[in-house]
Amino acid sequence: MSDHDILSDAEREALSAVMLEPDLPPQRVLIVDDDKDARELLSEILGLDGIRCMTAASGESALKMLEERPSIGLVITDLRMGNVDGLDLIRQVRESVRAAMPIIIVSGDADVKDAIAAMHLSVVDFLLKPIDTAKLLGLVRHELGMNA
């Protein structure tokens, strides 16, 4: 190590090892909606833009998938669902090891109270159906770190 090197040899080796690591697998979007058609449509829209998606029909199954699949990098959820609705899902995610997970709400039936509650839970955005697909794609690409 010369006098003007900032890094030690060990630090330089560690940095080289990190730089040579293979790219991480692409992050996936988890779409949560109890309406099968809505889930499939969102998945198709995002898939056409090269965004890999998974779907869940309930808040319960979404929570299980989030525990088991670290490749999920973003959640898009409906608000109105069965036992675990969208707000419950977000609250549980915020209290978990995935607390920093970016979440977008897509809802056809929401009031101001829901929107305020969602914003207090630090969601990325609250989109009303019918969805502005360009806006949704822009948000998803931004949150996943994809070039917009």
Question: What would the mean pLDDT of 15-38 be, rounded to a whole number?
Answer: 75
CB within 8 Å of 143: residues ≥ 6 apart: 73, 74, 102, 104, 124
Cβ distance 45 to 140 under 8 Å? Answer: no
pLDDT of residue 4: 58
Q: pLDDT value at position 118?
A: 85
Q: What percent of the chain has pLDDT over 70?
A: 86
At residue 1, the pLDDT reads: 47
128: nearest Cα among 111, 147, 103: 111
pLDDT in tens, 89-114: 999 999 999 999 999 999 887 788 88
Q: Confirm whether pTM is higher than 0.85.
A: no
Residue reference for tokens 């998945």: 43
Rounded CA gap, 54 and 75, in Å? 10
What pLDDT is stored for residue 19 in this prediction? 57
